[in-house]
Amino acid sequence: MRSFLYFCGEVKNMLPNIRSLTLEELTEQLLEAGEKAFRARQVYQWLWDKNVGSFDEMSNLSKDLRKILEERYILQKVTIGEARQGKDGTVKYIFKLDDGNEVEGVLIPTASRITACISSQAGCSLSCKFCATGFLDLKRNLHFFEIYDQVDIIRKEAMARFGRPLTNIVYMGMGEPLLNYRNVMRSIDYITSPAGMGMSPRRITVSTAGIAKMIKKLGDDGAKFEFALSLHAANDEKRNTIMPINESNTLEALGEALQYFYEKTHTRVTFEYIILEGVNDGLEDARELADFCRVVPCKVNVIEYNPIEKAGYKNTSQEKMDRFVEFLEQRGIIVNVRRSRGKDVDGACGQLALKKQNS
């Protein structure tokens, strides 16, 4: 018998979500129900490898077992609320969560790769001044299976729209991944597991605005994926202004955490640097960035800014950007210039704000 909680006239199902269980937990519960242990492995394959949306789709299970699953568990899924494809092929998705919240993700096709940009939180609490998501309130952390679903949807969309497989995943959508540490790490475990998607962790990049103690924890946990820090200024005063998180996670604290992370993982760090006109685009800013790059082996992604309505920033000129990049390269720093993709559908870096087609 299903148990329900009646609240504000709504019936809310209180059964556990089956995808919150580990294989060991599911095995134990099915054994208690009189089933064989191998049945749990079959169910797990349906849940993660095939990622089905209902128990009825588990066709190699008996009707009795499917009935037991239906009576004891729920199976929540993330769905597409809206999809908009830009002129460059980039597709922005608004994903609907089971509780009515929404997040955004982006499919980014290029000649050499197809990347999924996914969210880790509904909203964000960090209030970065140049980012549209920073103007939203934080609703909640995403469950690991909701993060997994975003990747799975974009993976299937890549094949359907472009006939090519997903090659890379970046945790650069809505929210701060390191403030949802447990679910982010567990989602990566499932994405890289042979029982899940079997992707290489080196095809995954986790990006943070800079939570020093959690960067150290990544080192302690032996993170095997790629790691990026959204830096955007190598000067505490400037970084405090555009990224308030820097007030409690100073550049000195971040430098120490990055050194610890590198000593533990030997993973080269990527510094992301959105270049803003008159804010962080001068040669003195480049000099400060070059000095900070000495902290750990690294590379720099210089990213053109995508203006948003609520922020007063502008992208710098091409001339200033070229001069900035040249200054870094002359000092032996590896620099990549990232051009905006998906800007016409509000899917470019810093634009994710649940802006819908008719809004």
Query: What type of residue is 6?
Result: Y
Catalytic residue among 117, 124, 293, 349: 349
CA dist 299 → 125, 228, 308, 315, 324 (Å): 27, 10, 27, 21, 14
Taking the C-alpha atoms of residue 228 and residue 344, their distance in angstroms, rounded to an integer, is 26
Instruction: For residue 281, count other CB atoms closer than 10 A to its CB.
Output: 20
Look up 117 and say whether it is catalytic: no
Look up 8 and say whether it is catalytic: no
Catalytic residue among 102, 104, 226, 304: 104
E strands within the chain? 4-7, 10-13, 79-85, 91-96, 102-109, 114-117, 121-122, 140-141, 168-171, 204-208, 226-230, 269-275, 298-304, 334-338
* Distinct helix (H) and strand (E) counts, the chain: 10, 14
Backbone angles phi, psi at 147, to 5 degrees: -65, -45
Hey, which residues are catalytic here? 104, 349
